[in-house]
Amino acid sequence: MTAESTATTCFRHPKVESHVRCTRCDRYICPSCMREAAVGHQCVECVKEGARSIRQARTVFGGRISAVPLVTYILIGLNVLAYLAELARPSVENRFDMLGAAPAGYYPEGVAHGEWYRLLTGAFLHLTPGEGTFGITHILLNMVALWNIGRVVEAQLGRVRYLALYLLSALGGSVLVLLLAPETGTVGASGAVFGLGAAYWVMGRRLGYNMRSVNQYMGGLVLWMVVSAWLTSWQAHLGGLLAGGAVTLAYAYAPRDGRRTLVQAGVCVALLALLLVLAWVKAASLTSGAAA
């Protein structure tokens, strides 16, 4: 038997001679396939399989740990892009703000007339310069609040749970506007921001934060809700606060076993269904009243 016939080669590169075995699968590997391990070297396939078998660290609420608040960045970007669209075309606000139904005598429009998208699009719009008391301050205050509180909440909940919380809070604010002030056009991310504020408070209780600072933050939100009764839409703020609190309670106190994700998702779906039913019932009453 010749030396050439006894030469061993890499199992991934048959033309490359190799004398090193993977410590996990015992196959020969060449230098380009070697990955350092705690003992010896492993092949690329064994390293990938090992990575899949390692349980990824999760937060108390079940979210995947991430150092980059990507969803918060995206949400801020969407709000800013929508604001630029409003500046370029002022008609955008009237076309996509949260409106339940136009007052009697006006052209039929709003959620009651099939424009259901307003329940969410209004939460990405803001007052433009020259409108009311705020103007550009409206979006600045909301984006600063979203940046400050959103990063903290996203880090604890993970991206999927955080996005569900944000959208359900925004929807909860719009639905309460529809129920209590259907003929008032509203815009702003503050309903969703109030939902994040409620989430921050629930998280603080669950994680044992210094509740003095957390309570001070919540006190500021409640005070702003009272003041906003004369300036903006307190209904959207209250709706977002209630929806955000309900969602985060489910996140925080769901059983910490295999059922946790199912319970959390179930509460989110149930809340979504409840909000949509309330909106449908209110829209039906508005259209039937107009027909009468």
Non-local (6+) Cβ contacts of 21 within 8 A are: 27, 28, 29
Residue 3 has pLDDT above 60, yes or no: no
Residue 86 has pLDDT above 50, yes or no: yes
> Could you tell me if 173 and 235 are in contact, meaning their C-beta atoms sit under 8 angstroms apart?
yes
Kindly report, residue by residue over 102-155, the tens digit of the pLDDT: 887 788 899 999 999 999 999 999 988 876 556 788 899 899 989 989 999 999
Average pLDDT, stretch 184-213? 87
Please report the domains of the chain, with CATH numbers, ordered by start residue.
Answer: 3-53 (no CATH), 70-291 (1.20.1540.10)
Non-local (6+) Cβ contacts of 27 within 8 A are: 11, 21, 43
Cα–chain-centroid distance for residue 70?
Answer: 10
The DSSP symbol for 54 reads: S
Kindly report, residue by residue over 143-166, the tens digit of the pLDDT: 998 998 999 999 999 999 999 999
Residue 291 has pLDDT above 60, yes or no: no
Q: What is the average pLDDT value for the chain, to the nearest integer?
A: 86
Kindly report, residue by residue over 219-254, the tens digit of the pLDDT: 777 777 666 656 677 899 999 999 999 999 999 999
* Residue 171 identity: L
pTM here?
A: 0.79
11 compared with 125, residue with greater pLDDT: 125
Q: What is the pLDDT of residue 2?
A: 46
How far apart CA 91 and CA 96 sit, in angstroms, is: 9
